[in-house]
Structures are given as structure tokens and as C-alpha cells.
Amino acid sequence: MSPRPLLLVGGGGLAREVLAAVRLTPDRWLPLGALDDDPARHGADLDGLPVLGGTDLVHTSDAAVVACVANAHRPRGRLGVVARLGLPDHRWATVVHPAASVAAGTTLGPGTVLLAGAVVTAPVRIGAHVVAMPHTLITHDCEVHDGVTFAGRASLGGSVRVGAGAYLGQASAVREGASIGAGAVVGMGSVVLTDVPAGEVWVGNPARRLREGNGS
């Protein structure tokens, strides 16, 4: 079976990491190029992959697409890009690094990315367009909704619920049974011991409310 052509949406660091992952499974994916709406990136070289132009070029091809966009200041940004492009689910690539460990029976939504060392310890459902950066830990009975971003070494205890578009910073940890609301941001190194309301930014050990988010 021939590898499926793939376009990466985004021309930054996350795109480079996803590109490195897909190149480890050349029988599955054939990266064609990256797309970015910043004209300054057009024609650039992304680790040997050309930045072909703006994101509207996804509509000129039937290649698979993966959204490589993540920003703690705009936690819902990736879901916004997905909504604007309006592609059917079958166009979105689900990328799992060969060094990720995913329990049998886990369901991954379209467009989700698990990078090296990500671990899912028991069968759970992970939503669409989730990004789990290296060494993310997701344990038993967790709920991970669409568009969540886990920065490197973020970890969830059992039965944690993470709402759509939330962002968990590098090396953050969430106590068993806690809930992270939609669009919330947990700062790097923070330890969450109680529920984080939707749209708020929490930081520290133990984590406490810093401010309202910008909602984007």
C-alpha cells in the first residue's frame, strides 16, 4: 500500500516535530509540504520540506492534512484553524510517533498527534485535533476533548477531564479526578489539585488562578 500524501498546516516548531515523526513511518505518510498564512514563510525550507504557501491550498488537493499549531496565548487557536478550513474528518491525519505507547482500545480522533514518549496507560477516548508533545502521560479513565494541547511532560492522574481547547504547559501535573475547563491554560510546572474553570489561566504549586484567558 502506498504512503498517503500529507500536508502540514503551520510552519513553526511544532510542524518540524510532526514532520520528524511522520518521516519515521515512510510506509504510511508522504509529506508534500507545509502551509502557513504568514507570507514571510512562503518558499522557506522546513527541514527539507518546502513551505508551499497559505493554508487555503488544502482545498486544491486531496492529501491528508494535520494542523501543527499550538500557542499557550491562544489555546483554542488550532480548533479555530480547523473550523476555518472546514475539511471533512477523513482529510485529517492522525499521527502517532513510533515511540509513543498507546493502550489497546484507545480511540484517537481525527487530526490528533502523539509525539515521542507520549503514554496512554489504559483505553480512553482522546478527541480530535489533540496534540500531545513528548512524554505526555494520560492515565486511566481520563477524558480528553477536542483541541487540547499537552506540552512536554504534562501528566494527568486518573479520571481527569480536560475540556476542549485547553492548554497544559510543560511539566504540569493534574491531580486524579480534577477537571480542566474548556480553553483553560495551566502554566508550565504547575500542580493542579482542584478544578480549573473554563477560560482561566492557573499557575504555581499548588496552582491558583492568575487571570482570565483571552478566549481565543
> Which residues are designated catalytic?
140
Distance CA 216, CA 214 (A): 6
Neighbour tally for 182: CB within 10 Å: 19
Distance CA 107, CA 121 (A): 13
What sign for the dihedral angle of Cα 178, 174, 199, 122? Answer: negative
> Where do we find the cell 509529506?
31
The answer to whether the beta carbons of residues 206 and 191 sit under 8 Å apart is yes
CA atoms lying within 13 Å on the CB side of residue 108 = 22
Task: Give the 3-state secondary structure of residue 35.
Answer: strand
